[in-house]
Amino acid sequence: MLLNRSERSFPRIIVIGGGFGGVEVARTLKDKDVEVLLIDRNNFHTFQPLMYQVATGTLAEDSISFPLRKMFKSQMNFKFRLAEVQHIDNEKKEVHTSIGILDYDYLVIATGATTNFFGNQEVEKYALPMKSVKEALNIRSYVLQNLEEAVLRKNIADRERYLNFVIVGGGPTGVELSGAIAEIQLHMLKKDYPELSEHEMKVYLIEGTDKILGALSEKSSRDAERYLKELGVKVKLNTQVTGYDGNTITFNNGESIPTKTVIWGAGVKGQFPDGLPSELIERGNRIRTNGQCQVEGMKDVYAIGDVAAMITDDTPRGLPGVAPAAQQQGKYVAQHILNSVDGKPNEEEFKYFDKGSMATVGRNRAVVDVGKFHMKGFIAWMIWMFIHLVSIFGFRNKVVTFVNWTIKFLTKNSGIRLIVYPYNRPRPTSPIK
């Protein structure tokens, strides 16, 4: 039961979204004289940096997910509601949800981002996004479904589109995913599908700019590209998608690839409920905030993480859409709210501390940037694994992930090859050419 405003002893802070930022706000407010109400459409937190490993069968979905109620079981001032937030009424300080109207004293919007297809409806209809556990499972099923379909085709030409896998977007998600699918080709295909030749399966990584991992250093970009090519991935730079009809993907240079599988990782955009003035929405569908993470012109409302655009002199393009940025904002906002509750001044603006960037490119290969320091290869891969392992929520999840990684390292075997829920993609309207 939730008390209304007149019955409560402490201010209520509603946090929309159980991602990295929202969870950090709630955790920082533990044992404080406030009521924390977290709302999410899912009852679990997802460790998104390892989503691609669910999509490629290395990990099960419950290895990267953790129940929100269990996460906060010892936090007495915390409540959770499974609901869809529909509308924000800042004038009345109310949040309209699928389970009713909830009032707040402070509101934190931490709703994250979804896939951005940049208005290409045809691509959106047929390509596979990967921003949720369900979408990752769709990719896992669909990759395996196409391998099964390829087995049924006796003609090499007929098998081609089932064995071409195209990943669009050369950021960390695209690089890590293409490397993992390439390892399926190298280590799993000949074992599970002896009817198919590993040379028939091809993995393409498409990037619209002149380098992959654009947010990392030049060294990391070059090393990652070299690692991908060693795995057999065909990297196409300065190449933009112009269309995809479900059978063939086409590019701005006139080239095309026959394929049934296009995985889209080329962009994200913020997602948030109705009720925010349109003039506050910046590029990428993000909410404009000031240097203290407050939504401009909306009293006691904050936005953090991927959904926020903190446009300041120090961050003219906003903050990077990475977990550490959201977590640091979460801690800052929680303290900012506590200062407001206690009547203390809030003069210090948020400062993001960049701890570095990293990406893995298959087994024994990774790149790490920490300031001007660059690492690559096996040592970088070990650092990548350690950082991600200690960051996963839940002791069980850490153990299961470590065991799965160890087995894969020793056997080169990608374990979970189950089609539990087949993915039914929209049927292409155009004939196969």
Domains of the chain with bracketed CATH: 5-41+83-115+268-341 (3.50.50.60), 121-266+363-411 (3.50.50.100)
| Dihedral angle over CA of 230, 232, 236, 241, nearest 10 | -150
The question of whether 176 is a catalytic residue gets the answer yes
Contact 41, 84 (CB under 8 A): yes
Set 176, 183, 207, 225: catalytic member: 176
Per-residue tokens: 342: 């206690």
CB atoms within 10 A of CB 429: 10
Contact 293, 303 (CB under 8 A): yes
CB atoms within 10 A of CB 132: 17
Residues 6+ apart with CB under 8 A from 270: 111, 112, 113, 114, 284, 285, 286, 287, 306, 307, 308, 309
Check residue 432 and give its pLDDT.
62
Per-residue tokens: 232: 């057999």
User: What order of strands is seen across the sheet that includes strand 357-360?
Assistant: 357-360, 366-370, 373-376
**CA 127/CA 244 separation, integer angstroms:** 8
**CA 162/CA 298 separation, integer angstroms:** 51
Contact 21, 305 (CB under 8 A): yes
Check residue 426 and give its pLDDT.
87
**CA 210/CA 178 separation, integer angstroms:** 18
Q: Determine phi and psi for 245, rounding to 5 degrees.
A: -100, 10
**Segments of the chain with pLDDT less than 50:** none
